[in-house]
Structure 1
């Protein structure tokens, strides 16, 4: 201890300073550069940023070189014809970890001089890529400046040892042999994991990785990448015309300010069913006119009214579609509260971008490989490895090296509604981002994914809306094509266009009744015919006997009559057999009348069960919403209760603040009591009773019940009544459900509207006139694409909407002879927005 103290005294005059252990750099490199492909791409980006028009990667696994007396095996050279580096640039850039002049250049909006490129490297960590590749790093570079001399700088990553400070790592420099020519060559000598670089399968995988990470879709038009392994050139894969011709459909999309535009092109063969019988019908009803009738059917489909559809101008495809989506029509964009961030999060537009998705059908008979000179397996592997699904690229370079289903395409495979959706295994595509347009989308330091910020949340929401639109068209158009085939089949059999299961049941019932009526008549006709046959046989027998007894008997005539007799016998046997079978069939058919009646009873039972199911769904929807509100109030109770306990501990019982908190608890408890009590009329046992109700009173009570919510969310409620509404006969709980569904619908879309228009006043208007009421709000209104099928089952624009609320509302009203409809009036956004409920049918 004493020696240590003496030592401290001796060094007391030496200034204290922070030092960095060189081993920290190797740890940093191992964490940020996750594989050889990432390491190479980071070095390729350096060439791109240096305004090179090519980058040549030469992998030499068999090479050997002696450096400072040590023999190294394996070498990689990354060479370009960029602007090169001066000694000062090397000192500031390569030899200063995390320093990046590009970062400031990007922030200032600067571009490269020659090709006017946005800088792709900005973290100052790309040089660590060479550490992942090998030990010795040699930089051989020169600029085009006449007065500048080239320089060769060499250092070893193995010198970055624990206990060694960064400034003591040995670096050598000498004059370059590259003169009067700009460019750089980064040499990595002594490769790590030499077995990797000699493994043919792993190098093939590396080829696919490099092909996918430097955009194979032609985004880097003035930059070429070349790969050489052991002296042999290796062609990097691109999404060329041959691969393009193999896809069954393609989709393009773009975000243009606040509008998403989604387009698609599909081949007619993509609508071909899978079963043999359906294929024959497909040939008869669709291929027979090259799909013209199907196109007209799809264009008239109410379920596809969101899309404009036309015959494709591209001979390769059958049909094209287009859909435009406004950002403020997307339910998921509404502001929300994130528990992790503990702050309100608003939707952030990530900036304009575009992209394409190519879909393939991986069946051997679906891929036209005759002219490609590539096998089915090779084609499938190539397409799947090229992007690993849909990849995000920024200025031509892929974000992330792994083939991850980051868009969640596989989730559609578990959905019954997604039978024809995009799959991660059968698509290749890209999303094209740029630094200029998408600055707020930030990449993590390891380049593997995005930073989870508000801009990324917005980007994710938009991407999901794009995928949802494509899948919606795929699934709906395919199902509509099958319906088209069924309609044509019914028409060929003389069935009406509205032919339904009930029609079929009625036909069977009528057939069974007819069989019962006809059975007795057939029995009578059978007996009559048998008697006539017997008489004919007797006549023939008598004729044969007469001929035999005659003096002028004709032997030939006798033979002919005997042949006739045999033939009649045969006919009699056949008739008896057929008559017996027909009698059995008609009897069995008439007996099926009871079977038909039984089926009819079952259908009626199912219809009642479905009606009950709607009731249960309606109860569940309201219970879920009300429970959410109750939980919110319970949070208030907990807050006030904790405050009261703290005041009791600090000040004692006699305290005004304590009383205030206790009164707050009482008030909140009252609200919860009201909320929970509203569930009573929703109880199943009480939904069959019919009550005498006053419409204005029921509406006022509903809004009184939820007044705290509307106040907290600054939604103004305006109720107007002419005072002339008459009593109606309606179930109290079901009327509550009707009002609640409509109000919560307005509530949701006002939240979305407020996200994009925070300064606009929010209100819900209810107008009561006699026994009708109209409800509308200050939001954007109903999109034109769904205004005609808004009350159909499963139609919803909400992010997680079930498409049952308005459908159930219509069903509940129809039970009492009432109705609901969207009026023709349009708001300032040019949209229909008023829901009118007609309760005249329930008037006393």
Structure 2
């Protein structure tokens, strides 16, 4: 049982290591030195390093991990009651009484699970400790060989030797060293690559701030591991940085932006950036932004910055305003943090360009981490849900999970209400946690709003500066298309004037010919002015040259005017497309409104069904106790009870998809989800002579929001239902068949309907694409499927499989990015 606890409660070796460092912190240590050796062999009894020739000797074990601190050490009683007894932590009471250590620290370890951590690290543990004492210092040495417990009937049958050695005053200083021999997970420490190990360590030991006066030095195979310097450089080099601090019910957020955030990716964008921003370090753009977008800028506390950050923002938010009204929130206590947002473009202006050593480090350090007194709480990589908020559009300017790095600092003293789970992998769902989460969502929102203000309006500013237009930036798409059409019509009017110019050029031919004739006649006259005759000849030649150029220019003008006529036609087509899009958006809003109504209705029907079930049970109990028995009344009450139960079952289908539950992701076996879908749709489909079956070929586990998965399957099944039922109703098929196949990592939906027309194969997942009658379908079902999958990291495609008519008839849902190993294996096993 103890070995199982060690595997389940301590996630991995890095977490086990940090539990030992936490013990040093609680012991008021000021320095902790961690050394890991995976290359050498050691004697399991003495712990001495063996020579190369002794590596294969009996009793030799490979690998050693040691944690040495200068804390107050442990006496024999503390070793026995605390360190050797699982879940018997004196720190729990110490912490509950609000006490602190001599250095003013609030203990971090209060669950008594640190021993389980050292247990999972290796085969043998050796503890050597010198407690603080008023008398002569004493060293206690404890050695435990875990293999001796494997065949023991009980723990008490295995003796644990303790060696005591007194020292004279001044010969030894208090502290503790724990050595683990025979490391279980050698590949964890040496096989993943240096950067990945740095990322693991950075997730559990803050690379941003010291843990309240505790310095931790880590050395692996003789090489120092130092993430602190690079982490600080990463934050400082980022184009955008946020700093935030919460205390006494108010969250203060500050943000600053460098001009490099405007550079863009393409060569044209870079050229615009160098022309409009670099010369004055963005001053003109910042001034324009604060003037033209004054209301939005004021709401974000925008102001001119300095040479490094050309714009700064600030906002103060009360906890009451940040709280989500759908749940109870509490004050999490003071916290602070910092988040940087960076890009990986390959420009000379990027701090993370291809030549920078920070580039690979930044990719490994991405994520917003939470630390308590410098020790990591290992939440999900995307615990703030950035990927759910991110769109695939290039114009999304919020925080992206792979392009953000930062931290949140908590403390054991000030954030007692934020309770960690036993595995240190998450926080318990308490009002304080919900308050903390809501406040952090305000930080995310502020980052998105500030960057949207800057970068979206930068596009507008650049367009106005380079290509001035009479249109305001607030012009609607229809107004823009009308403007293009009007200008094209005006330009087309120049066609007539160009023809007039051509006629004038022909008249000029006659005039020049007359001029030449006059010049020739003047040459035969009695009195001739040579200069005048030369001037006339020269003027004639120049006029003919200009005439040739004008003729060529008018030919080009004809070509341009023809293109303008083509553009006018394109503008009119664009106008029609935009009008159609507006109509479709209106249709989409009808669906949105219907969804909101369904959400409200689901809540109300659920409550009504609950009350009906309760009342019908009461009536049934009453009727069954009456004499004589009223069979008809009992039958009616049973009918009400059964109907209300069925009503509740139908509504429960909607519950996972409601807005307040969409944020929750869980671990699910795909076959269970598909079985639930089959059970739900079977009665309705059976009544329409359609068979719905699940074919489980290779089951798998995924982490997904249940409601979204059900919506995906529902839309695919209902799409098949429509086409299959048409075949049945028209007698072209005796019975419809829909098959949902589970074959890791795919879920496939196939039917015996007519198949997908070739005309829509390439556009089937676009919005408003449908071959159903207008009164039946909006063309949104499959689009919704693709969007829901995209939000979770999955994809859907129309498979190449074709039916007897040669048309495609199967949808493949690819869930490989959502795969979860149901029984994760410990590294090195």
Partner of 1:9: none
Partner of 1:158: 147
Partner of 1:688: none
Select which of 380, 383, 400 maps to 1:423. 400
Partner of 2:123: 135
Mapping for residues 247-646 of structure 1, pairs under 5 Å: 247-299=238-290, 300-312=293-305, 315-330=307-322, 332-335=324-327, 346-365=328-347, 376=355, 378-386=357-365, 388-400=366-378, 404-414=381-391, 416=393, 419-489=396-466, 492=468, 511=487, 520=496, 523-524=499-500, 526-541=502-517, 543-544=519-520, 547=523, 571-579=546-554, 582=557, 618=593, 621-622=596-597, 624-626=599-601, 628-646=603-621
In the alignment, does 2:138 pair up with 1:149?
yes
The CA deviation at 1:364 is 3.9
CA distance in 2: counterparts of 1:241 and 1:392, whole angstroms: 16
Alpha-carbon spacing, 1:137–1:356, altered in 2? closer, same or farther (3 Å):
same
CA distance in 2: counterparts of 1:177 and 1:649, whole angstroms: 82
CA distance in 2: counterparts of 1:498 and 1:524, whole angstroms: 40
CA distance in 2: counterparts of 1:587 and 1:30, whole angstroms: 76
Mapping for residues 734-773 of structure 1, pairs under 5 Å: none
Q: Which moved more, 1:317-326 or 1:497-506?
A: 497-506
Alpha-carbon spacing, 1:397–1:333, altered in 2? closer, same or farther (3 Å):
farther
Alpha-carbon spacing, 1:502–1:49, altered in 2? closer, same or farther (3 Å):
closer
CA distance in 1: counterparts of 2:136 and 2:367, whole angstroms: 50
CA distance in 1: counterparts of 2:574 and 2:85, whole angstroms: 83
Maintained 8 Å contact 1:74/1:194? no
The CA deviation at 1:110 is 1.5
Select which of 26, 33, 39 maps to 1:56. 33
The CA deviation at 1:126 is 0.5
CA distance in 1: counterparts of 2:558 and 2:437, whole angstroms: 70
Q: What is the number of equivalent residue pairs in this alignment?
A: 627
CA distance in 2: counterparts of 1:101 and 1:230, whole angstroms: 35
CA distance in 2: counterparts of 1:230 and 1:385, whole angstroms: 21
What SS does the aligned partner of 2:138 have? coil
CA distance in 1: counterparts of 2:604 and 2:35, whole angstroms: 65
CA distance in 2: counterparts of 1:91 and 1:573, whole angstroms: 108
The CA deviation at 1:561 is 7.8
Alpha-carbon spacing, 1:131–1:557, altered in 2? closer, same or farther (3 Å):
same
Q: TM-score, normalised by structure 2?
A: 0.65
- Could you list the per-position Cα deviations for residues 22-47 of structure 1 after superposition, in whole angstroms to 9, with x for gaps in the alignment? xx222222222232222221111121
Partner of 2:695: none
Select which of 154, 164, 169 maps to 2:158. 169
Q: TM-score, normalised by structure 1?
A: 0.64
Partner of 2:758: none
In the alignment, does 2:24 pair up with 1:35?
no
CA distance in 2: counterparts of 1:78 and 1:546, whole angstroms: 115
Maintained 8 Å contact 1:141/1:152? yes
CA distance in 2: counterparts of 1:407 and 1:264, whole angstroms: 18
What SS does the aligned partner of 1:176 have? strand
Maintained 8 Å contact 2:477/2:578? no
CA distance in 1: counterparts of 2:554 and 2:516, whole angstroms: 23
Alpha-carbon spacing, 1:320–1:630, altered in 2? closer, same or farther (3 Å):
same
Maintained 8 Å contact 1:57/1:226? yes
CA distance in 2: counterparts of 1:623 and 1:230, whole angstroms: 61
CA distance in 2: counterparts of 1:429 and 1:542, whole angstroms: 89
Partner of 2:626: 651
What SS does the aligned partner of 2:402 have? coil
Select which of 93, 110, 120 maps to 1:104. 93
Maintained 8 Å contact 1:644/1:658? no
5+ residue gaps, structure 1, are 1-23, 336-345, 673-844
Q: Which moved more, 1:402-411 or 1:495-504?
A: 495-504
CA distance in 2: counterparts of 1:527 and 1:330, whole angstroms: 74
What SS does the aligned partner of 1:382 have? helix
Partner of 2:697: none
CA distance in 2: counterparts of 1:416 and 1:67, whole angstroms: 62
Of structures 1 and 2, the larger Rg is shown by 1
Partner of 1:86: 75
The CA deviation at 1:107 is 0.9
Maintained 8 Å contact 1:263/1:321? yes
What SS does the aligned partner of 1:428 have? strand
Alpha-carbon spacing, 1:647–1:583, altered in 2? closer, same or farther (3 Å):
same
5+ residue gaps, structure 2, are 47-57, 648-829
- Could you list the per-position Cα deviations for residues 76-114 of structure 1 after superposition, in whole angstroms to 9, with x for gaps in the alignment? 33212111111222121222222111111111111111x
CA distance in 2: counterparts of 1:573 and 1:73, whole angstroms: 92
- Could you list the per-position Cα deviations for residues 235-281 of structure 1 after superposition, in whole angstroms to 9, with x for gaps in the alignment? 45445653343222221222223222222111122133444444444
Maintained 8 Å contact 1:78/1:186? yes
What SS does the aligned partner of 2:285 have? helix
CA distance in 2: counterparts of 1:218 and 1:639, whole angstroms: 57
CA distance in 1: counterparts of 2:539 and 2:399, whole angstroms: 73
CA distance in 2: counterparts of 1:67 and 1:518, whole angstroms: 100
CA distance in 1: counterparts of 2:461 and 2:543, whole angstroms: 52
The CA deviation at 1:393 is 0.9
The CA deviation at 1:312 is 3.2
Alpha-carbon spacing, 1:653–1:296, altered in 2? closer, same or farther (3 Å):
farther
Maintained 8 Å contact 1:392/1:431? yes
CA distance in 2: counterparts of 1:203 and 1:178, whole angstroms: 41
- Could you list the per-position Cα deviations for residues 419-468 of structure 1 after superposition, in whole angstroms to 9, with x for gaps in the alignment? 12212222221111122222222222222222333433333233223222
What SS does the aligned partner of 2:20 have? helix
The CA deviation at 1:72 is 3.8
Mapping for residues 682-693 of structure 1, pairs under 5 Å: none
CA distance in 1: counterparts of 2:481 and 2:359, whole angstroms: 48
Maintained 8 Å contact 1:52/1:223? yes
Maintained 8 Å contact 1:537/1:568? no
Maintained 8 Å contact 2:11/2:423? yes
Partner of 2:218: 227
Partner of 2:665: none
Maintained 8 Å contact 1:215/1:396? yes
Alpha-carbon spacing, 1:311–1:656, altered in 2? closer, same or farther (3 Å):
farther
- Could you list the per-position Cα deviations for residues 742-796 of structure 1 after superposition, in whole angstroms to 9, with x for gaps in the alignment? xxxxxxxxxxxxxxxxxxxxxxxxxxxxxxxxxxxxxxxxxxxxxxxxxxxxxxx
Maintained 8 Å contact 2:24/2:69? yes
CA distance in 2: counterparts of 1:363 and 1:604, whole angstroms: 38
The CA deviation at 1:381 is 3.3
Mapping for residues 196-215 of structure 1, pairs under 5 Å: 196=187, 199=190, 201=192, 205-215=196-206
